[in-house]
Amino acid sequence: MARSRSGTRGRRGPRKPPRRDGAFPNSNVQVADPKDRGAIELPATITVKELAELLAVNPADVIRELIKSGIFATINQLIDRDTASLVATELGYEVAEAEAPAAEDGMFRVPPVLGEAP
């Protein structure tokens, strides 16, 4: 019988410990109680981490909801208000509508022309 060069014939490497059932009991998404949450106001852009802190949930839960929506974002990436409000709604939060700046008389101001051509 041939002998292996490394001399490890018949030896096994370290084994992984057996998996315990119930090691991760709370693998579901964290959702706040309806009485504890109020309407939140979101900025125009927000990072995934800041959104998770604002919602008081794990950033992995925010990323999970983003992936369900087809958006693959990391914890440091910026997301827009619409996407953040979609995630907040999925996690059980109510999002306050951001007030758009009101234009005077429904028209935009046009700057005056400084000099006219003769």
pTM: 0.56
Best CA proximity match to 40, nearest among 81, 100, 101: 81
pLDDT band at 48 (very low <50, low <70, confident <90, very high): very high
CA neighbours within 13 Å on the CB side: how many for 79?
A: 28
Where do the domains of the chain lie? 43-97
Write out pLDDT tens, residues 60-107: 999 999 999 999 999 999 999 999 999 999 998 998 876 655 555 556
CA neighbours within 13 Å on the CB side: how many for 33?
A: 2
Q: ∠ at Cα 38 (33, 44), nearest 5°?
A: 125
Give dist(CA 26, CA 3) in Å, integer: 50
Render the chain in DSSP notation, one character per residue: -PPPSSS-TT---PPPPPPPTTSSTT-SPP---TTT--EE---SEEEHHHHHHHHTS-HHHHHHHHHHTT----TT-EEEHHHHHHHHHHTT-EEPPPPPPPPGGGS---PPPS----
Write out pLDDT tens, residues 16-40: 777 777 655 555 655 555 546 678 8
Class of domain 43-97: mainly alpha
